[in-house]
Amino acid sequence: MQADEQRLIARILDGHTGDFGYFLERYGGEVFAIVSQLVPRQEDAEELVQDAFVRAYSKLDTFVGRSSFSTWICRIAYTTAVSWLRKKRIKHISIDDKPGLSDTIIDDALNDESRISDLRRAISLLKPEEQTLLGLYYYDDRPLADIAFILDVEAGTIATRLHRIRRKLYLLMKHGKN
Helix (H, G, I), strand (E, B) or coil at 39: coil
0.85 cut: is pTM over it? no
Report how many domains make up the chain: 2
Q: Are residues 110 and 168 in the same domain?
A: yes
Neighbours of 19 (CB within 10 A): 16
Q: Are residues 62 and 9 in the same domain?
A: yes
* Residue where one domain finishes, among candidates 88, 120, 154: 88
Identify whether the C-beta of residue 134 lies closer than 8 Å to the C-beta of residue 126: yes
**Considering the domain boundaries, does residue 15 fall inside one?**
yes
Neighbours of 7 (CB within 10 A): 11
Question: How do residues 12-42 score in pLDDT, each as one tens digit?
Answer: 999 999 999 999 999 999 999 999 888 878 8
pLDDT for residue 49: 95
Give the CATH number of the domain where residue 26 resides.
1.10.1740.10
Q: Are residues 12 and 75 in the same domain?
A: yes
Identify whether the C-beta of residue 52 lies closer than 8 Å to the C-beta of residue 77: yes
**Considering the domain boundaries, does residue 131 fall inside one?**
yes
**Considering the domain boundaries, does residue 70 fall inside one?**
yes
**Considering the domain boundaries, does residue 95 fall inside one?**
no
Question: How do residues 72-126 score in pLDDT, each as one tens digit?
Answer: 999 999 999 988 888 876 554 444 444 444 566 555 555 655 567 778 888 888 8
Domain with 81, as residue range(s), is 2-88
* CA-to-CA dists, residue 11 to 26, 53, 84, 111, 126, angstroms: 17, 17, 32, 48, 42
Identify whether the C-beta of residue 39 lies closer than 8 Å to the C-beta of residue 85: yes
Identify whether the C-beta of residue 76 lies closer than 8 Å to the C-beta of residue 52: yes
